[in-house]
């Protein structure tokens, strides 16, 4: 009979080892062995890649068969200028493009809205008001081969309508469109705060887009359930894991309650995670997410299709971890984060630019960010073998611990009435705020070292090149938009608005009247106003 291996502290009883905790507050032991891989309430199996419960990856051959989608940001300022950037990225080797929106578009306002003054085409996004803007944005882009990711949320149904009408104009069948809508409204109330309507009608709009894509866009991901924004607001990796999955299960329940079969829509649900500086915590988070998702979809929601069990995820490196001080250090941070995402088994990856703490990325920093992914893919050899960290005592133990803690948090949310109730009573906001405060305190107290910020600082920085938006763009954009609006058929526009309001009142899917509205020239801001007249507006309650 074999002897139980001694722990490092048993081997050195007089040696004091200071405790170390990861970003989620879980204690990290100085050494791990087979005795540390504790079972959960069920057998914590890892299986094989491409097989249930998908801990080791959602596809059998992973990057040996096809490298992850290299997806970079391709939008800023005027739609035609953003189009040039998209073309450049594709020529440089990007296989997917993310389209971010400017702040007025995010907040449901047209560029000519007085509240949009000074913000049009800024904040790292493109101004999309009308079908003309979508035409200019995607001019010359092959919609059947390039995967387009729209970073849209409250306005997702309108952006989707614009995209679909453009495809129809070009003769591209909707069944061949590839890409993703972010479209995760729940995390807006929890973290990002760019919502218009109360949670229930907003959730209904998300489900309308999922149902429409299920019927018409089988290759398109109608939602990317996002932990990234939760993490950027201050959630720990463990909270990001638990809150994202709780949101996802809410969407699944809503789909089933709407009459859709789970296997009819679940295969197109996708996810969006953040990777921070803790390499192994990132890896364990992804592995735990895949197992929780697979088991819950199979056992709780009775999904039969293996595609419904696969946790497919897009990943972005951590913009909030980048520093304005010694910005060149951010290249190293981004590389480490990107490498952890690849080792964790991501399906798609965006790498942040090193100057994002101060500026919209410059052409140089964007190129370095893209090349970082390509060097990892082609020079590091990490894609040569599938799941290289499988069997690591540390990784498997940390995966088990994160899974157990995430399940505990998810159950606490259910016990507190579910996700929508926890939004309305401030649970998520309070938990995230407290975690953000604790992290900032740790940085200020020097308990968490940030190189170049609170350690190894070197005084003043040199001159930094910043990227600016054309100061004349906003004036020109507003003039063009007003001209567009003056050329529309008022009766067709009025009829489209009436149909949209009626669909909002009766519970019909809003996508058909939105498609008609877009064809009649309805702008994004006008569509939002029609919906707001039925749904009302929402203001968050104070939680402290």
Quick: pLDDT tens for 236-255.
Answer: 999 999 999 999 999 999 99
Determine contact, residues 355/369, Cβ cutoff 8 Å: no
Share of the chain above pLDDT 70, in %: 92
Determine contact, residues 312/266, Cβ cutoff 8 Å: no
Residue 2 pLDDT exceeds 50: no
Q: What is the pLDDT of residue 247?
A: 98
Specify the DSSP element, H or E, that contains 84: helix 79-91
C-alpha to C-alpha distance for 432 and 346, rounded to whole angstroms:
25
- For residues 461 and 530, the model is more confident at 530
Residue 102 CA: distances (Å) to CA of 123, 320, 358, 361, 460: 6, 19, 17, 15, 32
C-alpha to C-alpha distance for 529 and 341, rounded to whole angstroms:
40
Q: What is the pairing mode between strands 96-100 and 147-151?
A: parallel
Which of 191-195, 257-261, 408-412, 464-468 shows the lowest per-residue confidence on average (mean pLDDT)?
Answer: 464-468
Q: What is the pLDDT of residue 43?
A: 55
Which of 17-26, 77-86, 485-494 shows the lowest per-residue confidence on average (mean pLDDT)?
Answer: 77-86
Taking only the tens place, the pLDDT of each residue in 331-380 is 999 999 999 999 999 999 999 999 999 887 888 998 999 999 999 999 99
The number of residues making up the chain comes to 544
Determine contact, residues 297/266, Cβ cutoff 8 Å: yes
- For residues 130 and 43, the model is more confident at 130
C-alpha to C-alpha distance for 148 and 145, rounded to whole angstroms:
9
Determine contact, residues 162/128, Cβ cutoff 8 Å: yes
Q: What is the pLDDT of residue 1?
A: 39
Contacts 24+ apart (CB under 8 A), 190-193: 190/230, 190/233, 190/243, 190/247, 190/423, 190/428, 190/429, 190/432, 191/229, 191/230, 191/232, 191/233, 191/235, 191/428, 191/432, 192/153, 192/229, 192/233, 193/540
Taking only the tens place, the pLDDT of each residue in 155-201 is 999 999 999 999 999 999 999 999 999 999 999 999 989 999 999 99
Q: Which residues are within 8 A (CB) of 87 and not within 5 positions of it... i.e. 6 or more apart?
A: 140, 141
Average pLDDT over residues 305-312: 98
Q: What is the pLDDT of residue 543?
A: 63
C-alpha to C-alpha distance for 278 and 39, rounded to whole angstroms:
24
Taking only the tens place, the pLDDT of each residue in 497-528 is 999 999 999 999 999 999 999 999 999 999 99
Token couple for 216: 């018409």
Q: What is the pairing mode between strands 69-73 and 348-350?
A: parallel
Average pLDDT over residues 100-118: 93
Residue 469 CA: distances (Å) to CA of 77, 139, 463, 479: 6, 21, 19, 17
Determine contact, residues 127/121, Cβ cutoff 8 Å: yes
Taking only the tens place, the pLDDT of each residue in 76-96 is 668 888 888 888 888 888 777
All domains in the chain, ordered by first residue: 62-384+411-444 (3.20.20.240)
Q: What is the pLDDT of residue 395?
A: 96
Question: What's the distance, CA 498 to chain centroid?
Answer: 34
Taking only the tens place, the pLDDT of each residue in 432-467 is 999 999 999 999 999 999 999 999 998 766 666 666
C-alpha to C-alpha distance for 366 and 373, rounded to whole angstroms:
11
The residue assigned the tokens 């800023």 is: 76
pLDDT band of residue 40 (cuts 50, 70, 90) is low
Q: Which residues are within 8 A (CB) of 534 and not within 5 positions of it... i.e. 6 or more apart?
A: 201, 501, 504, 505
């Amino acid at each position: 009979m074999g002897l139980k291996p001694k722990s490092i502290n048993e081997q050195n009883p007089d040696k004091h080892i200071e405790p170390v905790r990861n970003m989620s507050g879980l204690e990290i032991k100085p050494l791990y062995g087979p005795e540390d891989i504790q079972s959960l309430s069920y057998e914590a199996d890892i299986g094989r890649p491409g097989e249930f419960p998908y801990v080791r990856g959602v596809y059998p051959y992973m990057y040996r068969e096809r490298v992850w989608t290299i997806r970079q940001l391709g939008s800023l300022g005027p739609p035609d200028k953003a189009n040039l950037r998209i073309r450049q990225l594709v020529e440089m080797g990007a296989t997917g493009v993310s389209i971010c929106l400017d702040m007025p578009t995010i907040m449901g306002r047209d560029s000519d809205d007085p509240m949009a003054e000074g913000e049009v085409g800024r904040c790292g996004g493109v101004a999309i008001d009308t079908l003309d803007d979508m035409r200019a944005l995607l001019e010359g882009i092959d919609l059947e081969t390039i995967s387009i990711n729209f970073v849209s949320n409250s306005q997702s149904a309108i952006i989707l309508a614009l995209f679909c009408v453009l495809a129809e104009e070009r003769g591209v069948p909707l069944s061949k469109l590839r890409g993703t809508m972010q479209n995760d409204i729940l995390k807006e109330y929890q973290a990002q705060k760019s919502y218009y309507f109360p949670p229930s009608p907003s959730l209904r709009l998300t489900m309308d887009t999922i149902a429409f894509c299920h019927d018409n866009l089988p290759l398109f991901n109608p939602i990317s359930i996002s932990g990234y924004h939760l993490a950027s607001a201050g959630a720990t990796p463990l909270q990001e894991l638990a809150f994202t999955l709780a949101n996802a299960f809410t969407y699944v329940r809503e789909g089933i309650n709407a009459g859709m079969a789970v296997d009819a829509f679940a295969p197109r649900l996708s996810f969006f995670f953040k990777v921070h500086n803790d390499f192994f915590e990132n890896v364990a988070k992804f592995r735990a997410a895949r197992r929780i998702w697979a088991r819950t979809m199979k056992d709780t929601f009775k999904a039969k299709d293996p595609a419904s069990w696969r946790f497919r995820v897009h990943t972005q490196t951590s913009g909030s971890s980048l520093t304005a001080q010694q910005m060149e250090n951010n290249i190293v941070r981004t590389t480490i984060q990107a490498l952890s995402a690849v080792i964790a088994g991501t399906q798609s990856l965006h790498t942040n630019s090193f100057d994002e703490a101060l500026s919209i990325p410059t052409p140089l920093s964007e190129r370095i960010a893209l090349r970082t992914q390509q060097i990892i893919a082609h020079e590091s050899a990490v894609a040569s073998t599938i799941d290289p960290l499988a069997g690591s005592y540390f990784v498997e133990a940390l995966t088990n611990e994160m899974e157990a803690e995430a399940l505990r948090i998810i159950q606490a949310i259910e016990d507190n009435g579910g996700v929508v109730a926890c939004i309305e009573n401030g649970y998520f906001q309070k938990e995230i705020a407290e975690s953000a405060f604790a992290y900032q305190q740790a940085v200020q107290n020097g308990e968490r070292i940030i190189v170049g910020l609170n350690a190894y600082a070197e005084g003043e920085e040199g001159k930094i090149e910043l990227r600016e938006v054309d100061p004349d763009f906003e004036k020109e954009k507003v003039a063009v938009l007003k001209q567009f609006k003056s050329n529309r058929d008022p009766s067709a526009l009025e009829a489209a608005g009436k149909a949209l309001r009626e669909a909002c009142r009766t519970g019909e899917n809003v996508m058909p009247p939105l498609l008609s509205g877009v064809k009649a020239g309805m702008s994004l801001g006008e569509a939002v106003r029609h919906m707001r007249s039925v749904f009302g507006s929402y203001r968050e309650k104070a939680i402290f």
